[in-house]
Chain A
Amino acid sequence: MSNLEIELQALKENLLEMMELVSKQIALCSEATITGDLAIAKQVVENESRVNALELTMDKDCENILALHNPVATDLRFVLAVLNITSDLERIGDNAKSIAAFLIKNSKKLDKNYIDKYGIAEMYETSISMLTCLSEALKKDDAELARKIFKEDKVLNKKNKNGPKVAVALVEADPKQAKLIVRLLAVVNKLERVGDLATNIAEEVVFHVEAKVLKHNKDKS
């Protein structure tokens, strides 16, 4: 194995670790939302520094690989993809932290009915499924697997689009909880954003494996 291959392997392992960690952050948010367990939400906030540290480490690793090994072709595309993927993962981590912070402030007041009406549990499930699929796609360098998540993102977009309507109906039924209901809508927005960022990651996997640029392209085939 050449030095470059060893460096790239280590980079991939770190990326998969970050992917797993971020995926876990969303899963913890889901658990904290459904159970109202503040300890779990606090754990998400604590884990955030690990996500950030991994991003910085990998940025440095990418910089070193580019400067010292001059990668080309698929190796170059992988390093370029990793630079973008880590940034997307870090932003997914930020969203998880924001959701956790919201839960810490409001979990006691959360009504299960609100969560159901917004379809938040389903959104969590979809987000986690997307991230798990991406992790597999990265492990196997499988662009087809990465493409599968484009469809799943539509589920999140639909829920998000429907969010304001749901919010109006909930506020009309329970005007005293208007603030909380609107804040909960922000969680819906954040999960939709997680879907967008996961989509970006899938595009990077396709770029790495097939050298196709899907960014800003409606046709993702």
Chain B
Amino acid sequence: MVLQCTFAISGRKKLCGKTEQKVMKHIEAIDVNAYYGDNHVLKNIDIAIKENTVTAFIGPSGCGKSTFLRTLNRMNDYIDVFHLEGKVLVEGNDIYKKKVNVEELRQKIGMVFQKPNPFPKTIFENVAYGLRIHGEKDKKKIEEVVEQSLVKAALWNEVKDKLKKSAFGLSGGQQQRLCIARTLAVEPSIILMDEPASALDPISTAKIEELINELKQNYTIIIVTHNMQQASRVSDRTAFFYMGELVEFGKTADIFTNPTKKQTENYISGRFG
């Protein structure tokens, strides 16, 4: 079937006439090279990520994992000196083509950051924000989506009686789940998480990890983490990056029990460097 729009993502909300058939490769990078000015930060990255899976990106600081994560929803576009070569396909469509609507892209590929970053608004308005800026005016619809998103983010029971209170009154873990709810509200099909639990205590971390496990039924999730145990607990597949290269990508169980590359083994077992 011919795609009739500039950027097509299946998932919960179809933006175009793409077939309903299950797409196995949700995200695919083909020979991706990225530069900050002269600094070559991603080198010949080839990777295919299946839909409804959790993929962990691991590697030492500066290895390129966060840069690569941010290439997947074009967050690096904000950096003037950033330059990318190669292709990044989402459901077969090159997201770096000129005609791609980047706002629409980021709506479908949501992002959760290291530090919870709620807006200085009420809990309700934080979740409703995305809908409002995308032009949704139906009050009832907004209320429904806010509730559904908070339920999906496992936060509804904790905040349902204080929706009109400031989001800053929530704990760090609750704020992070609020940010996840805010991401879910605009119906993404992919969620990128950049160290989403690194600033949280163990209980809040466990909640985020449980949530990731539940969300993968409906979303493709990619998580950058420095916590090896977290990568092994939450992900189906793990990609190990080092000095801008994708050293190894495979099933998490294989990576953590029998990696094929010595470099991977040295990193995950703490012998790196």
A residues whose Cβ falls under 8 Å from a Cβ of B? 2, 4-5, 70-77, 211
Q: B256 — which chain A residues lie within 8 A by C-beta?
A: 72-73, 76
B258 touches A2 (CB 8 A): no
Stretch at the interface among B1-9, B205-213, B263-271: B263-271
Number of A-B contacts (CB under 8 A): 30
Q: Which of A4, A5, A76 contacts B257 (CB 8 A)?
A: A76
Interface of B is mostly: helix
> Could you tell me which residues of chain B, from 247 to 273, have a CB within 8 Å of some CB in chain A?
256-259, 265, 268-271
* CB pair B269 A71 closer than 8 Å: yes
- Among B258, B268, B269, residue most surrounded by chain A Cβ atoms (within 10 Å): B269
> Does B229 count as interface, using CB distance less than 8 angstroms?
yes
Q: Beyond A72-B256, A73-B258, A77-B257: 6 further Cβ-contacts under 8 Å?
A: A2-B270, A2-B271, A5-B271, A72-B268, A72-B269, A73-B268
Residue positions of B touching A, CB distance < 8 A: 228-229, 232, 256-259, 265, 268-271
**A70 proximity list for chain B (CB < 8 A):** 228-229
* Chain B residues with CB under 8 A of A211: 257-258
For B256, B259, B270, which residue has the most chain A Cβ atoms within 10 angstroms? B270
Q: How far is the CB of A80 from chain B (nearest CB, A)?
A: 9
Could you tell me if A73 and B257 are in contact, using CB atoms closer than 8 angstroms? yes
Q: How many whole Å from A34's CB to the nearest CB in chain B?
A: 45
The answer for the CA separation of A149 and B265 in the assembled complex, in Å, is 29
- Residues in B with CB closer than 8 Å to A71 are 269
Please state if A4 and B258 are interface contacts (CB–CB under 8 Å). Answer: no
- Closest residue of B by beta carbon distance from A75: B269
Residues of chain A contacted by B271 (CB below 8 angstroms): 2, 5
Q: 3 tightest A-B contacts by CB?
A: A211-B258, A72-B256, A73-B265
